[in-house]
Each structure stands twice: as C-alpha cells, then as structure tokens.
Amino acid sequence: MDLDTVRTFVAAADAGRFQEAAVELAVTQQAVSKRIAALERALGVRLFTRTARGAELTIDGQAFLPHARELLRAAERAVASVRAGRRPLRVDVIASRGAAAGLLRGFHRAHPGIDLDVVMLLDMEAAVAAIRSGAIDASFRAVGVPGRPLPEDVESVRVLDEPLQLLTGPAHALAGARSVPLGRLAGHRIWMPGIVPGTEWAAYYDDLVAEFGLTIEATGPNFGSDALLDTIADTPALATFMGEHTRLVWPAGHGLRRIPVTGPTPVYPHSLLWHRDNPHPALDTLRAHLAATAGGRDAGAWVPGWVPSWTPGPPPRPAPGRAAPTDHRTLEEFV
C-alpha cells in the first residue's frame, strides 16, 4: 500500500477539507484528490463524501481511519529502527559470560538511557563484515592476527587485558596452589573444546602453546560451559583456561578452583572495533566510557607478538558547535 496515499487520507480526514490537507502536505489540491482516488481504487470503497462543508468520511472511511494511523506509526517505527541516534546501539561480544559482555554491562549501568542490542558473532571476519555493512556498530575482538589486517575503514582501540586463570577440579595436582607459574603447566592436559580453528582466539592459544610448550586439547564436542565444568570437576587429569572476568556458576559439590597464572601472566587483549564513519552518537559515549574505565596494563604480562601495543585511540568526535581538540592528549586524558 502506498504510504503517501495513506498519509494524504489521514491529513484530509483530520482537516475535513482537501484544500487544507493540500496546504499541510505542501502539494496541490489536485494531487490530494488524485491520491485519495488512487487509495479508494486500491481498497475498492469510497472513503469520503463531498458536502457543502468539505469532505466527510464514509462509514468505510471511518473504519479505515484507525488502521491508517497505525500504518503511519508502524512506518515511523520502521524508519527509527535503522536511523542512527534513534535505534539501539548494536554491539558484538563473543560470549554472554565473557569479559566483553561484562564491559558492556558496565556501560549499560553507567548509561541506562542508551538502548543496546547485543549480538554474538562467531569470528573476526563476520564481525568486521557486519561493522562495514552497518549491521552492527562495534565489536570486541583481539586484533593483529598475522595475515588478517583490519580494513582501512575499521578502527580499533585496546580496552582490556584480561589475565588467564587455570580452572581445575578438587583432585587436580595443582588444585591447592595459590598461583601457578606458566612454565609449570607444561605436561599438564588443558582441555578447551570451544576453540574454533581459524578464529582470533584460536590464534592466541596457538601462540601460547608454541611459546611455552603447553598441551591444549580441543577434541570432543562443545556442549557449553556447564558440561565443561562438570568434566573438569570429575577428571583429575584435566584443567582448562578461563578469563579472570568470565562469570561462572557451578554446583557447590564441584569444588572447582580458579588459580591465577603467573611468571608471566598470559592476558587476552580485548579491543573495541568500529567503522570510522559510523554516525551513531552513542558509539562515542561507549568509547569514552571504555577509555575512562580501561583496565591496568601489566608490563610483565604475555601476549602474542602480533598484538598491537597499547596506544590511545582517536578521541570521540566533538559535539556540534564544539571545536575539535588540537592537543596530543591520550584518549583517557581527553575524556
């Protein structure tokens, strides 16, 4: 159904005269008449009766009017759903219990008035494609994997280094340790069935294995975190890596241990990615929030050699009417 004809019908019904509807719509009276006639042909009924006082709704016109108003409201909602500044900010995280989701929850608590759509894409390629197409506004990823540079129109800033912890059951040989040196894990079986070959996190663990002689097994189906916790709790020979900020809940009888890894501490580098021309105003608010709450940077921590060093990202765009900053402060100092 042609929404222009529906809009013209509502304007004429409210005004009671085609001439007044024409003035409101900034068209000619003849155009109003043609649109109403086209709508009547499409519906197969008369919508108005001409009288000395103007145009009055027929019984069919009265029946159609509330539905016509709802059609126009639905059209407004449809446009608002994709218009930057009115639609929710769409952000990708790898998992709902991971550190990136925690960063986004913190942002929501600090800015409850900003609507969010949280999506979970599998890998970097899918996230970058969604950023470039406008399907999402931002993504939390590890960047710098060799052979997979970011496109020039996608920017990133490192926002969190998340220490890894060793998760064991109560009968594991290291269960009683207060911390575990990374080198001591050589020879222990570390089971991580959720690693997907070709992803950025698979590249991270490949480098960790190669540098420290670890054994990470990704065999078997991935039945999710609950099944992983059950297996780790019941199998003394197995342990797994878990991010320090990963939120987990398990039955009290499992007796699981989360043990810090040290000497050096391996950290997973989370970065925020976005398109340089993305116009959504809440994106700048998210970037400023992350800059103000960025985690500490341990100079002795381990990351793969391909991870970019900590550098400030570009400052948020100035609000209309404000001059852009001309100094060389870091992003944190600017915020």
Determine the pLDDT at residue 330: 33
| CA–CA dist 87, 272 (Å, integer) | 20
pLDDT at 333 over 60: no
Q: Report the C-alpha gap between 275 and 89 in whole angstroms.
A: 13
- Output the pTM of the full model: 0.69
Calculate what percentage of the chain has a pLDDT beyond 70. 89
Please report which helix (H) or strand (E) contains residue 119, including its range: strand 116-119
**Confidence at 80, pLDDT banded by 50, 70, 90:** low
Residue 321 has pLDDT above 50, yes or no: no
The pLDDT of residue 297 is 67
What residues does each domain of the chain span? 3-80, 89-334
User: Domain 89-334, CATH 3.30.1180.10 — does that match?
Assistant: no
* Residue 297 neighbours by CB distance under 10 Å: 12
Alpha carbon 87 to its chain's center: 13
320 pLDDT more than 50: no
Q: Is the pLDDT of residue 156 over 80?
A: yes
Q: Is the pLDDT of residue 329 over 60?
A: no
Query: Which residues is 225 bridged to in the sheet?
Result: none
Predicted pLDDT at 294: 77
Task: Pick one of 3.30.70.890, 1.10.10.10, 3.20.20.150, 3.30.930.10 as the CATH number of 3-80.
Answer: 1.10.10.10
Instruction: Please report the pLDDT score of residue 50 as a whole number.
Output: 86
Residue 329 tokens read as: 């402060």
Q: Distance between CA 273 and CA 157 in Å, rounded?
A: 7
Mean pLDDT, to the nearest integer, of 48-75?
A: 91
The mean pLDDT of 93-98, rounded to a whole number, is 91
Average pLDDT over residues 281-308: 87
**Residue 75 confidence class, pLDDT cut points 50, 70, 90:** confident
Tell me the per-residue pLDDT of 124-151, one tens digit each, with 9 for 90 and over: 999 999 999 888 999 999 999 998 899 9
- Please, what is the average pLDDT of the chain? 88
Same topology for domains 3-80 and 89-334, yes or no? no
- Predicted pLDDT at 126: 92
On the question of pLDDT at 319 being above 70, the answer is no
Evaluate if residue 168 carries a pLDDT over 90.
yes
Residue 252 — left, alpha, or beta (φ > 0 → left; ψ -120 to 50 → alpha)?
A: alpha
Q: Report pLDDT digits (tens) over 219-254.
A: 888 888 899 999 999 999 999 999 999 998 899 899
DSSP 19-41: HHHHHHHTS-HHHHHHHHHHHHH
More confident residue, 248 or 85: 248
pLDDT digits (tens, 9 = 90+) for 202-228: 999 999 999 999 999 998 888 888 999
The 10s digit of each residue's pLDDT in 1-41 is: 899 999 999 999 999 999 999 999 999 999 999 999 999 99
